[in-house]
Amino acid sequence: MEFVSQLGSSTLDGLSYLGSLASLGVRAAYYTLVAPFNGKPLRLQRAVSQAMDTGVRALPILSLITFFIGLILALQAAYELRRFGAISAVATAVAVSMSRELGPLITAIVVIGRSGSAFAAEIGTMKVSEEIDALETMAISPIRFLVAPKFLAMMVMLPCLTIWANAMGILGGSLFGVAQADFTFVRYLQASIDSLALRDITTGLVKSVMFGITITAVGCLEGLSTGAGAEQVGRSTTQAVVKSIFLVVLVSTNASGLSCRTRDFAPQPARQLRRTRDSSRPQLRRRARRNAGDSWRFRVREKHATSDPRRTRKTQRR
């Protein structure tokens, strides 16, 4: 019974935490997208500063990480594809994996380590030093003053960082393709571009927007719920990083499952269906003829003789 009670209390705590995140996200979205048209201007200068700190200053470490991830992905994919004689599919594997899943996910994890923890530490320090109470005393909403610029900066910069991460991952894979897979650099890039569909790119960009909203909401909520004392600031920062990574992976899993499900049930054109049905038949026929030899010709003659009604009548008269 004690285990059941603990499980129920933890479930209720998790649901209440998700409710707090949703409430904070809705209020931040209101102050970012709706309030500027109702006479409550957004702090654009602060949003630009946050965008510089979140996006531009994260480019060196993000470029290095995604470049080596693309290289490692090409190495591991080539190790398996070489056994099937499909080493030329390395470019496709790297491009699709980076654009659909790894690019947005690695970008989100890097941004969590740099900016999500910084959001929690900044707002937590302001909470401990009673600056949040001073804003509320002056009738200034902390969400409009502090959270909305971060919200806008993350929504704009995370898709841009994701596009850059995808490009660096493909560039890292091209290093292996040129050195070990007999690609030229131009041919590798052309194969990567040809393998990508618009849906692959838009899926990654939509994920990055969702990741940006999640990271901002978790970091700011942990900062606003910081207790008294400097020790609580460290705990809030740690909780922000851990919970952000967990929620980002959870959001990515749900988005990937939904995307694959809609892709599987999407209607295909009739020409494409005909090609997929008939593409393997000539190869099977040639292989059967080669394996059968002279007996195949005898069976074909016999089949035609039995199927032709004229020949069956002649054989019956004889």
SS3 sequence, 233-276?
A: HHHHHHHHHHHHHHHHHHHHHHHHHHHHHHHHCCCCCHHHHHHH
Residues 243, 297: one domain? Answer: no
Q: Flag whether 6 is in a domain.
A: no
Whether 2 is in a domain gets the answer no
Residue 200 and residue 301 in one domain: no
Calculate the CA dihedral of residues 141, 144, 147, 150 and round it to 10 degrees: -160
pLDDT at 309: 53
pLDDT for res 276: 40
Dihedrals φ, ψ of 226, to 5°? -70, 135
151 with 298, same domain: the answer is no
In a domain, 61, yes or no: yes
103 part of a folded domain = yes
In a domain, 4, yes or no: no
For residues 221 and 86, state if they share a domain. yes
- Same domain for 25 and 172, yes or no, is yes
In a shared domain, residues 245 and 163: yes
Residues 278 and 168 in one domain: no
Same domain, 218 and 311: no
Same domain for 214 and 237, yes or no, is yes
Please, what's the largest Cα pairwise distance for the chain?
A: 113
What pLDDT is attached to residue 32? Answer: 87
Distance CA 307, CA 309 (A): 6
Q: In terms of Cα–Cα distance, which of 240, 247, 246 is closest to 117?
A: 240
In the chain, how many domains are there? 2
Asked if residue 11 belongs to a domain, the reply is: no
Residues 129 and 56 in one domain: yes
Give me the residues of the chain with pLDDT under 70, please.
Answer: 262-318
The sign of the dihedral angle between the CA atoms of 226, 50, 68, 109 is positive
Q: What is the pLDDT of residues 38-68, one digit of tens each?
A: 878 888 888 898 999 888 899 999 999 999 9
Question: Which pLDDT score is estimated for 226?
Answer: 85
How far apart (Å, rounded) are the C-alpha atoms in residues 72 and 172?
A: 8
pLDDT at res. 225 = 86
| Structural domain span for residue 183 | 16-266
198 and 311 in a single domain? The answer is no
Taking the C-alpha atoms of residue 116 and residue 240, their distance in angstroms, rounded to an integer, is: 7
The answer to whether position 189 is within a domain reads yes
The answer to the question of residue 109 being in a domain is yes
pLDDT number for residue 264: 54
pTM (predicted TM-score): 0.77
Buried/exposed code over 132-142 (b: 16+ C-beta within 10 A; e: otherwise): beebeeeeeeb
Q: Are residues 283 and 206 in the same domain?
A: no
Q: In a 10 Å sphere around its CB, with 0-12 CB exposed, 13-18 middle and 19+ buried, how is residue 162 labelled?
A: buried
Distance CA 259, CA 74 (A): 24
Question: What is the C-alpha R_g of the chain?
Answer: 29
- Count of beta carbons in the 10 Å neighbourhood of residue 160: 16
